[in-house]
């Protein structure tokens, strides 16, 4: 089950225009209407700084104020006010969006930080939780019950943004049992609160699943010890063996408990291969990862441990917090040996993108293979992906750097890499790649809507007109569908 409050199918790209009001007046009006005093923060205060700050500084904008609703009623009041005054706004969870303009604004910044409740029902094995949580907090609460949910694989990542982008499951080959969403508690753009299920409103339920949501409840599954760790290879002589093992795993592995992701990494000029291995059990079957563990490695953290310990042991997000960063996805149907060799070459050599090696702190191109059955886990249709004919996996091009003067060069550089990788897949025979569904959490702010919602656009437009006739949600950031056109 999912509970989601209403920033959900705001499906339009629009600039907020203030009609007869200033941002400061709107902030004051919201503060006067809130049931909780002191829930509006202004520039200069610690609350403002902490609640508006993203993990990547490139995602930051300076809003007029930060609004932190404590109840769904306050959410409704806020939406009515920003809608009536046509004020730009944004909604942020934990702030790990790696693209500007999605969860940031110069208008009214709405923080979900107060929504941190976690309610686990042992009889139904369902957990209801707030969008202000991060995944470590949720995993911590569930561990004593011996259960888990599919979610993010790194500490600090928020539940709301991760699930709002697209409901696929944990981004490794194993998605564990299906991610089951049964209901949403939705604050509509007009401010009213409703419960949405497949039975009560199947079309709106469809739009909420992959259309962008902010509050959740999920079906859990039993979770015991896992075998997981990160292995780093620094010797170029073993890179061919690592790449071969990644390609073989992607093509041949069928165990749904097994997960693997592999990255070619250029970290401040140092080249390496980084592989994350996962098995949903105390140890994997013999032979599954033997080839990768047999070659020379620089570091190896693989161990049998609790799922929570596994997540907490990943330092990447803490080490790079505060940098500027982008993540750009490539939809990959299969990881061949030739494709992975191109990935390595583009990371390490970059003939046309040499500027990235000179100005970036980190450049990682990461393969994340799923089992072909990944899309069968959801029994209902979803806004994303718009086609289920092919199970495209979300390959990630991640880059981190310092200094806004490099923003445009970084964007051009990673887009060149994406274009080369897509062209390589087309050459392999995957002609649908250039028009395939783009994973929203790996999309930049200017991603074309037909790559995210595709053939679902007309249906989403119709739902948009019904649920948000005044286009209140068009004032917010994100990938939006206007009520009258697909642009």
- The CB-side HSE value for 134 (13 A sphere, CA atoms) comes to 15
Q: What's the rounded Cα separation, in Å, for the pair 402 and 359?
A: 8
Residue 153: what pLDDT?
Answer: 82
Total domains, the chain: 1
Q: Is residue 88 assigned to a domain?
A: no
Q: Please indicate, yes or no, if residue 285 is contained in any of the structural domains.
A: yes
* Residue 36 confidence (pLDDT): 83
* Integer angstrom CA distances of residue 80 from 74, 132, 168, 214, 419: 10, 21, 32, 18, 42
Structural domain contains residue 246: yes
pLDDT at 288: 93
Bridge partners (DSSP) of residue 362 are 267, 400
Radius of gyration of the chain (CA): 22
**How high is the pLDDT of residue 236?**
94
Q: Give the residue from 107, 108, 160, 113 showing the smallest Cα distance to 132.
A: 113
- How much is the pLDDT for 69? 93
Domain that holds residue 378: 226-442
The verdict on residue 91 lying in a domain is: no
Q: Residue 297 domain-assigned?
A: yes
Per-residue pLDDT of the chain (487 residues; tens, 9 = 90+): 333 333 333 333 333 344 445 899 999 999 999 988 889 999 999 999 999 999 999 999 999 999 999 988 899 999 999 999 999 999 998 898 888 888 999 999 999 999 999 999 999 999 888 888 999 999 999 999 999 988 888 888 888 877 766 443 232 323 333 345 666 777 888 888 877 878 888 888 788 765 444 457 788 889 999 999 999 999 999 999 999 999 999 999 899 999 999 999 988 778 999 999 999 999 999 999 999 999 999 999 999 999 999 888 877 677 788 899 999 999 999 999 999 999 998 888 754 455 666 677 889 999 999 888 888 777 778 888 888 888 898 899 999 998 899 999 999 999 999 999 999 999 999 999 999 999 988 999 999 989 988 999 999 899 889 988 999 988 988 887 777 654 4
Structural domain contains residue 128:
no
How many angstroms separate the CA atoms of 62 and 43, rounded? Answer: 8
DSSP summary character for residue 222: E
Angle of helix 202-211 relative to helix 457-467, nearest 10 degrees, comes to 110
Distance CA 358, CA 134 (A): 33
Helices within 322-371 (DSSP H only): 337-348, 354-359
Q: Which residues pair with 218 in a beta bridge?
A: 127
3-state secondary structure of 358: helix
> In this predicted structure, what is the pLDDT of residue 1?
34
Kindly give the pairing relationship between strand 183-187 and strand 226-233. Answer: unpaired
Per the listing, tokens 């029994």 go with 379
Dist. CA 291–CA 304, nearest whole Å? 19
Does residue 209 belong to any structural domain of this protein? no
Contacting residues for 153 by C-beta, under 8 A, at least 6 apart: 170, 171, 172, 276, 311, 314
Q: If you write DSSP's letter for every residue of 377-444 in order, what string do you get? A: G-SS--SS-S--SS--EEEEEEEEES-GGGHHHHHHHHHHHHHHHHHHHHHTT-TTGGGSPPPGGG--
Residue 169's pLDDT is 29
Cα angle, residue 157 at apex, residues 156 and 163 outer, rounded to 5°: 160
Alpha-carbon span 45 to 62, nearest angstrom: 13
* Residues facing 127 on adjacent strands: 120, 218
Residue 216 host element (H or E)? strand 216-219
Q: What is the pLDDT of residue 220?
A: 87
> Which residues contact residue 249 at a Cβ distance below 8 angstroms, ignoring those fewer than 6 apart?
173, 258, 260, 369
- Is 84 a domain residue? no
- Predicted pLDDT at 175: 34
Beta-sheet pairing, 65-67 with 221-222: unpaired
Supply the CATH number for residue 334's domain: 3.40.462.20
| Angle, vertex CA 464, rays to CA 378 and CA 476, nearest 5 | 95
């Amino acid at each position: 089950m999912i509970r989601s409050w209403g920033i959900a199918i705001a499906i339009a790209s629009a600039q907020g225009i203030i009609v007869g009001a200033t941002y400061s007046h709107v902030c004051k009006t919201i503060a006067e209407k809130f049931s909780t005093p002191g829930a509006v923060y202004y520039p200069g205060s610690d609350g403002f700084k902490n609640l508006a700050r993203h993990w990547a500084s490139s995602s930051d904008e300076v809003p007029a104020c930060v609004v932190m609703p404590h109840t769904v009623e306050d959410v409704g009041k806020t939406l009515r006010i920003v809608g009536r005054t046509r004020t730009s706004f944004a909604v942020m969870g934990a702030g790990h969006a790696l693209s500007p303009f999605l969860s940031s604004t110069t208008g009214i910044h709405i923080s979900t930080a107060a929504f941190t409740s976690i309610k686990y029902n042992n009889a139904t094995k369902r957990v209801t939780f707030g969008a202000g949580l991060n995944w470590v907090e949720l995993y911590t609460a569930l561990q004593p019950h011996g259960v888990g949910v599919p979610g993010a694989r790194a500490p600090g990542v928020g539940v709301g943004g991760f699930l709002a982008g697209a409901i696929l499951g944990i981004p490794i080959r194993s998605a564990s049992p299906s991610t089951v969403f049964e209901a949403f508690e939705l604050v509509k753009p007009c401010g009213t609160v409703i419960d949405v299920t497949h039975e009560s409103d199947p079309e709106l339920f469809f739009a909420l699943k992959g259309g962008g949501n902010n509050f959740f409840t999920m079906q859990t599954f039993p979770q015991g010890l896992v075998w997981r760790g990160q292995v780093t290879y620094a010797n170029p002589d073993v890179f061919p063996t690592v790449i071969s093992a990644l390609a073989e795993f992607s093509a041949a592995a069928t165990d749904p408990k097994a997960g693997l992701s592999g990255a070619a990494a250029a970290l401040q000029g140092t080249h390496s291969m980084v592989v994350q291995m996962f098995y949903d059990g105390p140890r994997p079957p013999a032979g599954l990862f033997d080839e990768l563990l047999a070659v020379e490695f620089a570091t190896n953290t693989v161990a049998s441990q609790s799922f929570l310990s596994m997540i907490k042991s990943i330092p990447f997000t803490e080490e790079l917090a505060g940098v500027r960063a982008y993540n750009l996805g490539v939809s990959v149907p299969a990881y061949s040996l030739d494709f992975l060799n191109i990935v390595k070459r583009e990371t390490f050599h970059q003939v046309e993108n040499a500027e990235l090696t000179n100005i970036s702190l980190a450049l990682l191109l990461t393969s994340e293979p799923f089992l072909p059955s990944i899309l069968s886990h959801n029994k209902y249709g979803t806004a994303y992906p718009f086609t289920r004919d092919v199970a495209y996996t979300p390959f990630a091009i991640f880059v981190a750097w310092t200094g806004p003067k490099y923003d445009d060069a970084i964007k051009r550089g990673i887009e060149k890499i994406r274009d080369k990788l897509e062209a390589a897949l087309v050459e392999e025979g995957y002609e649908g790649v250039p028009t395939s569904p783009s994973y929203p959490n790996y999309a930049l702010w200017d991603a074309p809507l037909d790559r995210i919602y595709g053939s679902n656009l007309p249906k989403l437009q119709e739902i948009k007109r019904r649920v948000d006739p005044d286009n209140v949600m068009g004032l917010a950031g994100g990938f939006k569908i206007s009520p009258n056109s697909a642009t």
